[in-house]
Structure formats: structure tokens, C-alpha cells
Amino acid sequence: MDILALQQQVAIYRDENAYKRLFLHFYKGLIRFADTYVRQHEVAEEIVSDVMLKIWTMQEALTGIRNLKVYLFKAVRNGAINHLLRNRHYTTWDIDQLAPEAFVSAGTPEDETIHRELKHRFAEAVSQLPPKCQMVYKLIRENSFTYREVAAILDISENTVDRHLSIAMQRLGAVLQTYRHTSR
């Protein structure tokens, strides 16, 4: 999937088919990411739709985006935060306390080599991580982002991203250790 080529098709030739492919390619990841903030599927859909709309209307400016995936995730996060701020009188979310809900690694291939019990323990360990830490782990695992990309999306430093991921990895490592000693 050559994202840059599709960007060019959309920006210069107004190619609806290329636009559709971009939409389908990024949709699921963006929806999941928006969901972690707004917790309402309809709202998440609206936010993603707004962001994708802008991709079409920005015309030639689209070719100036070097990393579309990061751009989209960042835009979705901004949209989600704006939505939360606008609706402050209903909800009192602290942006920094938002974490991915019940960790379901949807869309990742089933790893047949590990036991369901272990999988469950991993998920539990992740859900007990600090919110930001979960967010970082989820972005890297589910969307294969690098440190730099996660830092850009969440507006934090690469060092902070590294610290969060280290914590997550250590925690998972510990789960694995105890699991080995308790099973078999």
C-alpha cells in the first residue's frame, strides 16, 4: 500500500477511488483510537469522518503531509479532545486519565502459541497500567508506530514514550515469570 501515491492521486487528480482506499485503510485504527477518548461509538465515527473530510478538502496541501498516518491520529486526538472540552458539563474526563478501555487487542492475529490463560493475564496487567502508559503501549502494539510517531501524536517527548513502554514491558515480563512458576 503506497500511501504517498494515494495522497497524490487524491490531492492532484481528485481520485475518489484512491480516497476510498485511504479511508478504508486507516478507518479501524482511527476509530479505536477515538473510542479510547470519547467512549461513544457514534461520536468516534463523527470525529473520524470529520478528519477524513478534511483530507479531501485540503486539496494540494495533502501532498505536503509526509506521514499521513501520524497526521490522522493526531487530528483524531485533537478532535476527540475538543469534543470532550465542549461537552465538559456532561462528563468530567481528565484527558491525562483516559486509558484504552478493557484491553482487547482487536485486529491483531491470534497468537496460537500462547495459552488463553496467559493472554488473559497479559490483558489484565495492561489494564492496570497507568492511563498514559496504556495509551503508548496500545499505539505501538496496534498501529506499529515508532517512538517518534507516538511522541508526535500524544504531544509528549520521545523519552517519555520510552519510559512508558519500558514500564509496560517490565510489567508484561513479570507476568510471564510468575506464569511460568505457577503453571506446569
Site residues (vs another protein, CB under 8 A): 1-2, 4-5, 8, 11-16, 20-21, 23-25, 27-28, 31, 45, 48-49, 52-53, 56-57, 60, 63-64, 105, 107-109, 111, 113-114, 118, 122, 137, 140-142, 144, 146-148, 158, 162, 165-166, 169-170, 172-173, 176, 180
List the Cα angle 79/84/88 in 5-degree steps: 150
Shortest distance (Å) from residue 110 CB to another protein? 10
Taken in order 37, 42, 44, 50, the sign of the CA dihedral is negative
- Is the Cβ of residue 74 or residue 163 nearer to another protein in the bound state? 163
Smaller CB separation from another protein, 93 or 179? 179
Whose Cβ is closer to another protein: residue 87's or residue 166's? Answer: 166
Minimum distance between the CB of residue 94 and another protein, rounded to whole angstroms? 27
Specify the residue, 93 or 172, whose C-beta has the smaller distance to another protein. 172
CA dist., res. 105 & res. 162, Å (int): 21
CA distances from 48 to 6, 42, 75, 106, 127 (A): 19, 10, 9, 18, 25
CA distance linking residue 127 with residue 8, whole number of Å:
40
Q: For cell 514500564, name the residue.
A: 167
